[in-house]
Amino acid sequence: MAQTAQTPVTEDLIQGRKALIRGWSTGVEPEMILVRAKDALVWDQDGNEYIDCTAQAWSNNIGASDPRVVEAAFAQARDITHVRSNYDSIPLLRLAKRLSDLAPGDLNRVGFCLHGSLAVEMAMKIAMKNRPGAGPFITLYDGYHGRSLATMAASWPHVNNDFRPYMTNVVRVPSPYVYRCPLGHDAAACVAECAAILRTTIEKGTNGRPAAVIMEPIQGNGGQVEFPREYYHEVRRICDETGTLLIWDEIQTAFGRVGAMFAAEYYGVTPDIVVFGKAIGGGFPLAGILIREGLDGFDPGDDALTFGQFPVSLAAAVAMLDVLDEDDLLAKCRAIGEYATSSLQELAGRHPLIGDIRGPGLMIGVELVRNRVTKEPAVAETTNVYKRAMSRGVIFGTSRYGGIGNVVKIKPSLTITRPQMDRVLSVFDEVLGELEQELGIV
Ligand SMILES: Cc1ncc(COP(=O)(O)O)c(C=O)c1O
């Protein structure tokens, strides 16, 4: 593992760690302080260098600390850092125009906030305004939409959570995760049956007409699950025929991760509302929604957050979009993504632990199983892949969806180089080989 200078871990940092309330770390992660990042690389306090296949929660699509984004943010900060939401700023208007031009179909109106969860709530509020008196939201099994109270309800439930009193007004329907169809069908029947259940749930399964269907085009936290293409079109048809709004949560998929600007473009479906977040700020906090022509927006007082239109993040986002273009990162993502996926297919020929490989672009998930016939989830092995790869300078993502947790995620910055990707693949190859030896499944 490459090394650079160390950063002293002083007593105040140790005390700070003790003082911190955490809500996400799984207990598997090492006590690591990240002190520097550049493109697809990060460095810790001991000077260790890692190839980061998580792009820090799939956010650094254009690479970490791009100087063009950092400079745009600094320049904005020198002029004005904070503008309350009653007034406009230059980057606010510039980004709104840019996104309305970029978005698919007639998704031409934009709203901003700083967190994906709140952006999903904005989308829910827009749906409620446009379907007054409507009943619940419909979401998919294993979907993930955030950790605010409303979006936790819309996400797969984590066990023993204490928030159930506020987790209401959502009905979940099965989705065609065809590798393990929740209804036990093959791929074609899985799509047809899941779509049929969605339709009957909208028509008969809720008290009052549902406000909207909320779905991720590719489930990220839910285990890197892409659905068969026809499902996306079928859901659009069902929503059109039943007058239900369709919200796509593109917080993970937008801005290049699937090799297109939006997954909506990639699958050829235009939702009524698209939610974005993560990559848009180029490493600065930003999220928001795009809504289609003809939908009502907000009335005064419906939606206002003190820092919701943070000019520094908005300026960084304009620069981030320039970088995506200037560096041709969508094409780069498609090329390196295809290379990685086909190399993983080759590895699958040698590694029985690999059960399923899913894309597209750099939205890659590898589902590990102890037995390809029974598909017994290789949960401990997935944690081991994470730990052993970490000690060799590669940070993989892992999925803990539905309590299973047997998916390794490879979702680095789109700037990852071919030698870096080769290193990631060779560490994966090495670690899988060791685990298979130990399990006696070579
Ligand atoms: C698909 C999806 N929706 C919503 C969220 C919530 O975004 P945030 O953590 O910015 O609130 C996430 C975050 O991981 C996500 O992946």
Is the Cβ atom of 249 under 6 angstroms away from ligand 1? yes
Which pLDDT does position 203 carry in this prediction?
A: 96
Instruction: Work out which ligand 1 atom sits closest to the CA atom of 57.
Output: 14
Alpha-carbon dihedral of residues 104, 286, 150, 83, nearest 10 degrees? -110
Is the Cβ atom of 144 under 6 angstroms away from ligand 1? yes
Is the Cβ atom of 120 under 6 angstroms away from ligand 1? yes
- pLDDT over 70 (residue 378): yes
Tokens standing for residue 435: 């685990």
Distance 146 CA to ligand 1 centre (A): 5
Ordered DSSP codes for 294-307 = TS--PPTTSS--TT
Is the Cβ atom of 145 under 6 angstroms away from ligand 1? yes
**% of the chain beyond a pLDDT of 90:** 89
252 — pLDDT class (breaks 50, 70, 90): very high
Residue 302 CB partners (closer than 8 Å, separation 6+): 125, 129
The mean pLDDT of 182-186, rounded to a whole number, is 95
**% of the chain beyond a pLDDT of 70:** 98
**What would the pLDDT profile of 153-164 be if each residue is shown by its tens digit?**
999 877 667 887
- pLDDT over 70 (residue 307): yes
Distance 220 CA to ligand 1 centre (A): 9
Mutational test site, ligand 1, from 252, 286, 310, max ligand atoms within 8 Å of CB:
252
Task: Measure Cα distances from 410 to 93, 365, 401, 405 in Å.
Answer: 35, 6, 16, 15
Atom 5 (ligand 1) nearest CA: 146
**What would the pLDDT profile of 328-359 be if each residue is shown by its tens digit?**
999 999 999 999 999 999 999 999 999 999 99
375 — pLDDT class (breaks 50, 70, 90): very high
Please give the distance of CA 291 from its chain centroid, rounded to a whole number: 20
38 — pLDDT class (breaks 50, 70, 90): very high
Ordered DSSP codes for 36-65 = EEEBTEEEETT-BEEEETTHHHHT-TT-BT
Which pLDDT does position 339 carry in this prediction?
A: 98
C-alpha 121/C-alpha 106 separation (Å) is: 21
**What would the pLDDT profile of 111-143 be if each residue is shown by its tens digit?**
999 999 999 999 999 999 999 998 899 999 999
Distance 373 CA to ligand 1 centre (A): 33
- pLDDT over 90 (residue 315): yes
Which pLDDT does position 29 carry in this prediction?
A: 78
C-alpha 151/C-alpha 123 separation (Å) is: 11
Is the Cβ atom of 115 under 6 angstroms away from ligand 1? yes
Which pLDDT does position 404 carry in this prediction?
A: 78
Helices 418-439, 379-390: crossing angle, 10 deg rounding: 130
Mean of all residue pLDDT scores within the chain: 95
Which pLDDT does position 26 carry in this prediction?
A: 67
Q: Are 377 and 406 in contact (CB under 8 A)?
A: yes
Which pLDDT does position 270 carry in this prediction?
A: 98
- pLDDT over 90 (residue 25): no
**What would the pLDDT profile of 267-300 be if each residue is shown by its tens digit?**
999 999 999 999 999 999 999 999 999 999 999 9
Which pLDDT does position 22 carry in this prediction?
A: 83
